[in-house]
Amino acid sequence: MSALLETRRVSKAFGEFRALEDVSIAVAPDELVSVIGPNGAGKTTLVNLLTGLLEPTAGDVLFRGKSIAGIGPVKLAEQGLARSFQLIAIFPQLTVEETIATALISRQRKRWHLFSRLAADATIRSRAHEVARIFGLDRRLDAAAAALSQGEKKLLDVASAFALDPEVILLDEPTSGVSTGDKHEIMGILIAAGRKAGVKAIVLVEHDMDLVAAYSSRIIALSGGKVLADLPPDRFFADAALVDAVVGRRRAH
């Protein structure tokens, strides 16, 4: 099966420091691929390369077979790859409806001055309500983002990215700051929403090994800027030495 998103022998240097070295990964349709590793492993650099924020020093990044190296997240979103916006951190005063509509407006390349005419734009309003419903936020449409619970804020962050109708979505620790009891519920909602929205693959950057074990199709482990492992969850967690190297401690079963 051909990859939707891949890196081919990618390296990234910042001056003398090499953040990534000869990294090749691939994400195929119907996969949820988790990227894990200790601090300094190169996860953030890899994410920024995958979303077009950075250009590799060597190698290439491809989406649907075409190079996206350094293309930038806006153009990349137009092509079908989105990263959660965290718009609520930028515009906490906007309501749930307005936050999702902002993403929709950017997708349709409408000007910001048209934002005040949201109520008159039936298409955007209808789609915003549809996305909110998929994420269980339809009863909170008029609530300010700042007034939401931490779990609801996380869902709204990702809903904004889903509003762009992406084929592939990149989730960077979507449950951080959420209580342990709510994490699985949120992940379940995100995955179900992805299916409903037609998302073909998800890339998850995550520290929580319980979530990684429960939801991943494959686990890509980075260490020192290199791929240490690319394995299905059962094989990854069966290797105690590998888990120790990546997580720093053995996972309790």
Q: What are phi and psi of 228, to 5 degrees?
A: -85, -30
Give the bridge partners for 204, in sequence order.
34, 171
Task: Report the alpha-carbon distance of residue 35 to residue 129 in Å, rounded.
Answer: 32
pLDDT attached to residue 252: 42
At residue 173, the pLDDT reads 87
Spatial distance between the Cα atoms of 240 and 243, rounded to a whole number of angstroms: 5
Structure tokens at 174: 């979507």
- The neighbour count for residue 97, using CB atoms within 10 Å, is 22
Spell out where 29-119 has E strands.
Answer: 32-36, 58-63, 66-67, 81-83
Contacts of 19 (CB under 8 A, 6+ apart): 12, 13, 42, 45, 225
Integer Cα distance of 69 and 7 in angstroms = 10
- At residue 118, the pLDDT reads 52
What pLDDT does 112 receive? 46
**Residue 196 pLDDT:** 86
Residue ranges of domains in the chain: 1-80+166-253, 85-165
How far is CA 205 from each of CA 15, 63, 123, 187, 196, rounded to the nearest angstrom? Answer: 25, 18, 33, 13, 22
Side by side, the strands of the sheet bearing 226-231 are 81-83, 168-172, 201-205, 32-36, 218-223, 226-231
Count of CB atoms within 10 A of residue 120's CB?
Answer: 9
Residue 90 has what pLDDT? 72
Residues linked to residue 61 through DSSP beta bridges, in sequence order: 7
pLDDT in tens, 31-67: 999 999 988 899 999 999 998 889 999 999 999 999 9
Distance, in Å, from the CA atom of 56 to the CA atom of 10, rounded to the nearest integer, reads: 6
Task: Please state the pTM of the whole predicted model.
Answer: 0.87
Whole-number pLDDT of residue 88: 67
In the chain, which stretches have pLDDT less than 50?
A: 110-114, 250-253
CATH of 1-80+166-253, one of 3.40.50.300, 3.40.50.800, 2.30.29.30, 3.40.50.2300: 3.40.50.300
- Tokens describing residue 136: 């269980």
Query: Cβ–Cβ contacts within 10 Å for residue 52, how many?
Result: 22
What pLDDT is attached to residue 19? 95
